[in-house]
């Protein structure tokens, strides 16, 4: 199945893969990256006030010649430049050169000032004014969503969070909680097992599946993320990889492939927990040794 649309709780639909502009920088080169992403088939651009390249994304969207309705734009309130949420969306719309965005997110719970209910009421107003078709959040955990839902007239359409093979089990309760309220999860940084955590247990099934399907490991990870029913938010500056990401929507992963990555991911998470525990223990022992040494040097008997 190719990358398709996912229905949101407000009746709109969202393309299930997005090209993200974080760390693309600003200037002509980032316009070219977004241009290329659109030309290879991305129809969903994920940007943010804080990424500093909404104007570049907007220029690329205009250059694509696509009708506004054929491109899905997500941007986020990142609490930058001293702007309120209302001022920030106006600034984003101006930079993007559009009259509305498709999805507007509060980038981080801490950016919901003075508190989540007040900030969310502003988001609801922006939707009512037609400045955004859908409203949502990012990096919200269950307690943040509970606070929001208790005061909301409109439930968030989406929660954009980090989802990859090594944290999937930890994120599952949040994803399930979202489902209960019709909140679609979007998963960013799906390629962490190869970008930031290579050499872990996921490598083995990943390499086996990639070889069997004659696919790149990043394609298998994207297809795995897609299998979880989330919107996959990824990025690259390389055209060849962009093409691979789009093609990954058709990768025929089997139930067994998905289970093998799930299992390896769980194992990696356990290893990570053990490593963190050992590192902390070594750190604490080190501090203890320093304290003992200092006490000895000062002639203080602390034992
Ligand atoms: N809401 C939020 O707080 C956040 C949102 N995001 C969104 O998600 C998007 C994607 O985030 P990323 O962390 O960049 O996601 P990602 O996990 O998709 O990583 C993309 C990186 O992986 C590299 N890559 C691809 N294949 C590779 C391979 N075989 N070996 C080594 N590297 C490889 C790409 O070239 C690129 O640099 C962002 O641009 C942004 O739009 C990202 C982080 C936080
Ligand atoms: O989206 C990526 C991480 C992030 C969270 N808040 C901000 C603000 C500005 C740039 C990046 C980010």
- For the chain (length 303 residues), average pLDDT per consecutive 10? 93 98 98 98 98 98 98 98 98 98 99 98 98 99 98 98 98 98 99 97 98 98 98 98 98 98 92 68 70 74 65
51 is catalytic: yes
- Which ligand has the nearest atom to the CA of 220? 1
Q: Which of 51, 72, 166, 188 is catalytic?
A: 51
Pocket of ligand 1 (CB under 6 A): 20-22, 46, 107, 138-139, 160, 188-192, 194-195, 217-218, 233-236, 238, 241
Identify which of 78, 83, 234 to mutate to test ligand 2's pocket (most ligand atoms within 8 A of the CB).
78
Judge if the beta carbon of residue 79 lies within 6 A of ligand 2. no
Nearest CA to ligand 2 atom 3: 22
Architecture label for domain 5-275: Alpha-Beta Barrel (3.20)
pLDDT computed for residue 269 by the predictor: 76
Interval between CA 7 and ligand 1 midpoint (Å)? 24
Give the C-alpha separation, 215 to 250, whole Å.
Answer: 11
Residue spans of alpha helices (H) in 14-53: 28-40
Q: What is the pLDDT of residue 38?
A: 98
What is the model's pLDDT at position 296? 74
Give the position, in ligand 2's atom list, of the atom nearest the Cα of 111.
Answer: 6
Using most ligand atoms within 8 A of CB, pick from 110, 136, 188 the residue to mutate for ligand 1: 188
Determine the Cα–Cα distance for residues 63 and 112; give it in Å rounded to an integer.
Answer: 34
Q: Is 22 in the pocket of ligand 2 (CB under 6 A)?
A: yes
Query: Which residue has its alpha carbon closest to ligand 1 atom 26?
Result: 218
Ligand 1 centroid to Cα of residue 189, in Å, is 5
Binding-site sequence positions for substrate: 107
CB 92 near ligand 2, within 6 Å: no
The Cα 93–Cα 39 span in angstroms is: 23
- Binding-site residues from annotation: 107
Burial of 286 (0-12, 13-18, 19+ CB in 10 A): exposed
Interval between CA 47 and ligand 1 midpoint (Å): 13
ipTM surpassing 0.90, yes or no?
yes
Contact of 8 with 14, CB cutoff 8 Å: yes
Helix 217-227 and helix 203-213: axis angle, to 10°? 100
Q: Does ligand 2 lie within 6 Å of residue 53's CB atom? A: no
Q: Is 235 in the pocket of ligand 2 (CB under 6 A)?
A: no
Beta strands in the chain (DSSP E): 5-7, 13-15, 17-20, 44-46, 72-77, 101-106, 132-138, 158-162, 184-188, 231-234
For the whole prediction, is pTM greater than 0.80?
A: yes
């Amino acid at each position: 199945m190719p990358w398709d649309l996912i229905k949101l709780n407000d009746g709109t639909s969202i393309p299930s893969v997005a090209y993200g502009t974080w760390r693309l920088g600003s200037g002509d080169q980032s316009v070219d990256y977004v241009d290329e992403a659109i030309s290879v088939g991305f129809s969903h651009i994920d940007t943010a006030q804080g990424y500093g390249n909404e104007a570049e994304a907007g220029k690329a969207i205009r250059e694509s010649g696509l009708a506004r309705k054929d491109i899905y734009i997500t941007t986020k309130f990142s609490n930058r430049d001293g702007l309120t949420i209302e001022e920030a969306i106006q600034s984003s719309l101006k930079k993007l050169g559009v009259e509305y965005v498709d999805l507007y997110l509060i980038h981080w719970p801490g950016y919901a000032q003075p508190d989540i209910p007040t900030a969310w009421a502003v988001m609801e107003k922006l939707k009512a004014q037609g400045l955004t078709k859908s409203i949502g959040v990012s990096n919200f955990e269950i307690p943040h969503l509970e606070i929001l839902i208790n005061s909301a007239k409109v439930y968030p359409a989406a929660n954009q969070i980090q989802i990859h093979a090594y944290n999937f089990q930890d994120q599952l309760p949040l994803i399930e909680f979202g489902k209960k309220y019709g909140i679609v999860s979007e998963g960013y940084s799906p390629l962490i097992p190869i970008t930031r955590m290579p050499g872990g247990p996921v490598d083995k099934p990943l390499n086996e599946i990639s070889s069997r399907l004659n696919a790149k490991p990043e394609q298998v990870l994207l297809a795995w993320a897609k299998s979880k029913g989330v919107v996959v938010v990824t990025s690259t500056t390389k055209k060849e990889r962009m093409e691979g990401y789009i093609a990954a929507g058709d990768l025929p992963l089997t139930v067994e492939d998905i289970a093998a990555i799930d299992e390896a991911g769980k194992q990696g998470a356990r290893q990570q927990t053990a490593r963190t525990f050992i590192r902390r223990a070594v750190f604490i022992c080190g501090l203890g040794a320093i304290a003992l040494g200092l006490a000895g040097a000062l002639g203080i008997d602390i034992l």
